[in-house]
Structure 1
Amino acid sequence: MHYGKKSPSMGTPSVYSHVTSRSSANLRSSRSVKSLKVPWYRKPILQESIFLDVQRSSLITAFFSLFVSLFTIIVAIFDVYCYSMAAPGSTHYGYYILSYQFVYVGNSNVRNALVMFALFSLVGAIAVFVTSIMLVIALRKEYEKKMVPWLIAYFVFIVFRFLATLFFCIVNDMIFAYNVFMGLIWFTIIAFSVYGWLLVYSLYVELSDLTKLEDLAHLRMGTMASLNASTTHSLAGSRPTTPHSTVSTMPV
């Protein structure tokens, strides 16, 4: 296995990159990606980023999701700890830094649902942490196939955290500063996460289209080479024998 040069099927340079091994003029002259008739979900959703190019913005999104996963792990552990300390019927003695008045202690089913959201958020954050590291490596080497685990994991995580935050804001008393801040922080994170996910997905689609075009070009080149070789071989095999060679090969 060679590490000095990668195969086009494993990863392809992006048209969003400033430094690429291929000329964008050659790509446009050969076949335009935009001219292909593909479904809407297979088209790049965002053509450019607000501040940087799509590739660099996707790399920032990868680090952002890594930070979000760590933040979620800390918050989920803290929430489970608070729910266990403020469980109905529990008695505590001594001095405590926190007063657990902001913790929900009403209906048991609602409380169990909040605990479930915290536990599943912890599991989802671990999955996002692992796939975010994979995404950073994939973006640096432009391996579009290795972006898929992050796209799936982070999409599920965003949807789950949106529902969990909405449920959190409905059932909890928003007169407490902790509940207000957590609601604002999570809705802000979700908004940035949606935009970042769209950036990474657009880059993934663009790289996948370029890979298909390169594979098609290599297939055509291989087919033409094999046809030329077979044509040359057939012409050489069907070449008539000259009289001189016939006479020289006749037995005396």
Structure 2
Amino acid sequence: MKYQRYYDEKLRHFKPWWKDIRKCWNDFSFRRAIQLKNVTALRAVKKRLIDPMKNIRNWGKGDPYFLWNDLSGSIPKEIGNIAPLRLLLLSGNRLSGSLPDELGYLSHLDRLQIDENQISGLVPKSFANLSRIKHLHMNNNSLSGRIPSELSNASTLRHLLFDNNNLSGNLPPELSHLPELRILQLDNNNFSGAEIPISYGNLSNLVKFAPFMLLNFAAGLNMSS
């Protein structure tokens, strides 16, 4: 009986300790599973890109090393599976094709720069889901269609660069709902109509707006309510 009480007492102290170990192991297993998922996604991305400079040759082993230069091909949809991604800097490459909707899955993304490429097609409405995005640089491509009004849901946006594309339609007044917006570059596009929403005057943090004469409107400029 005495020994039974002794072991019961030891077991009572051991149980919380074992729970902590099991919790740590479960957390580690979860993080490991997430890491493996990210590596799988990165390898899928690698297969879809043409890399003549062999800058991403070591993605097949160890921790991936991000040095993306002189890449061509299209941006693969698998990139949307890299959930923790915070920076995606693809400026100055030779990427073509359209922007995959899956980019909107990257809810932790802080900066997305795909400027100075050959990207065409529409601006994905899924960009509205980028709840932490601050810098969205899409300038110097061949994007067409309208700027989606849904972008106004990306309320953390500070820099929005769409200059030097083939965008058309009217400027969405909803962009005035971006309280943090500081830079808005829309020059050298094919916007139709002659009105710039007067609500843009409510962008109190705006320090740079593309010169009106470069917006390439079809007619003279007016401010619209």
- TM-score w.r.t. the length of structure 1 is 0.23
Greater strand share, structure number: 2
Greater helix share, structure number: 1
> Which is greater in Rg?
1
With a CA cutoff of 8 Å and minimum separation of 6, indicate the structure with the bigger relative contact order.
Answer: 1
